[in-house]
Amino acid sequence: MDQINVKVSTPNLHAAVPYVASDNRYSKMIYRRCGRSGILMPAISLGLWHNFGSVDVFDNFEKIAYAAFDNGITHFDLANNYGPVPGSAEENFGRILKRGLGAYRDELIITTKAGYDMWPGPYGEWGSRKYLMASLNQSLKRMGLEYVDIFYSHRPDPNTPLEETMGALADIVRQGKALYVGISNYDAEQTKRAVPILKEHKVPCLVHQSRYSMADRSVEPELLPLLKEEGVGMVAFSPLAQGLLTNKYLHGVPENSRAAKSSGFLQKSTITPELVAKISKLNDLAIGRGQTLAEMALAWLLRDQRVTSVIVGASSVAQLMDNLKALDHLDFSDEELMLIESLLNA
């Protein structure tokens, strides 16, 4: 990661009126069953990878979190390392919970993960029992929670026996520190091995979290059918390809966009004229459907019932509200789907 300009945001701890959720919060959201489980997830979830760190503005992301819940987004996705700085997204979410959202704890699915580099030394990353247990304890402390709803192994570890990683996940559930567990970034082969190990422990794999968007369809041939067969839910991350599948980069790289920031993972160099030309054609198609490109990109994923939820990121309430509008028009004609297919394969 490049140099980070750390501008620590301080919450307005003297806000006079505590947050009270909208009475209409369940009127519009679509909920989908997560695999073969008892859990329903909102079709659109909110991710806190970017925009909720200590470099971001507390008032802004607090409003995003409240707008999400007011509109039926019950699922908030975190990880130990989200920030920057790592850990700060969990700390900030903990503050938001304390300042009002936590009153609705039983209406929330809060997830966290461990897998990537978090602290120095040999026990601060990957998939050992030592790391997973310690990391979840730290996450719970940062968020001020007794349990998370879902705890994920964030990435497969080639050097730790899968039995150890899955065994640790199962024990975490038995300890009551997570209600369910999931895996993320495991390919189809790794998933095929991990799911039965969890089954043996009588702690089913609730959900798989993987990158899936019009820009990255690698889950389609093997992973999606496998998850369906195994009764494991599928949540798609970066469904807008970090903002590429929106209208924001059609006329250059706006200041303050993820691609312009030194702390992000989206590189300016990714945005080539060829890519912009393709996005522009998709944008025209979206306009023809009466949608923004962001709305169409989300609807395109959600038209597949195997996708339980798409986890969007948002740097403003306006973006979140735009993304929620995807739910108004999820169906596609055969002609539209063929056109999209040909644009994506061009």
Ligand X SMILES: NC(=O)c1ccc[n+]([C@@H]2O[C@H](COP(=O)([O-])OP(=O)(O)OC[C@H]3O[C@@H](n4cnc5c(N)ncnc54)[C@H](OP(=O)(O)O)[C@@H]3O)[C@@H](O)[C@H]2O)c1
Using CB under 6 A as the criterion, which residues of the chain lie in contact with ligand X when the complex forms?
Answer: 47-51, 77, 154, 184-185, 209, 237-243, 246, 248, 257-258, 294, 311-315, 319, 322-323
Task: Tell me the pairing of strands 178-184 and 309-312.
Answer: unpaired
Residue with Cβ nearer ligand X (48 or 271) = 48
Q: How far is the CB of 232 from ligand X (least distance, A)?
A: 15
Residue with Cβ nearer ligand X (19 or 61) = 61
Across the chain, where does the E strand assignment appear?
31-33, 40-42, 44-47, 75-77, 109-114, 148-153, 178-184, 205-211, 233-237, 309-312
Question: 17: Cβ–Cβ under 8 A, 6 or more apart, which residues?
Answer: none
Rounded CA-CA distance 33/216 in Å is: 24
Q: How far is the CB of 50 from ligand X (least distance, A)?
A: 5
Rounded CA-CA distance 214/299 in Å is: 11
Let me know: does 182 contact 206? Beta carbons within 8 Å. yes
Rounded CA-CA distance 179/196 in Å is: 19
Let me know: does 89 contact 5? Beta carbons within 8 Å. no
Residue with Cβ nearer ligand X (134 or 321) = 321
Q: DSSP secondary-structure letter at 270?
A: G
Residue with Cβ nearer ligand X (7 or 202) = 7
Residue with Cβ nearer ligand X (103 or 289) = 289
Q: How far is the CB of 213 from ligand X (least distance, A)?
A: 7
Rounded CA-CA distance 74/108 in Å is: 5
DSSP string, 1-51: ------------TT-SS-----TTTTSS--EEE-SSSS-EEESEEEE-SSS
Task: Tell me the pairing of strands 31-33 and 40-42.
Answer: antiparallel
Q: How far is the CB of 256 from ligand X (least distance, A)?
A: 7
Question: 123: Cβ–Cβ under 8 A, 6 or more apart, which residues?
Answer: 130, 131, 134
Residue with Cβ nearer ligand X (20 or 218) = 218
Residue with Cβ nearer ligand X (128 or 292) = 292
Q: How far is the CB of 246 from ligand X (least distance, A)?
A: 3
Q: How far is the CB of 186 from ligand X (least distance, A)?
A: 10
The letter for the amino acid at 187 is: D
Residue with Cβ nearer ligand X (99 or 113) = 113
Q: How far is the CB of 47 from ligand X (least distance, A)?
A: 2
Q: How far is the CB of 314 from ligand X (least distance, A)?
A: 5
Q: How far is the CB of 114 from ligand X (least distance, A)?
A: 11
141: left (phi over 0), alpha (psi -120 to 50) or beta: alpha
Residue 171 burial (C-beta neighbours within 10 Å; 0-12, 13-18, 19+): middle
Residue with Cβ nearer ligand X (57 or 103) = 57
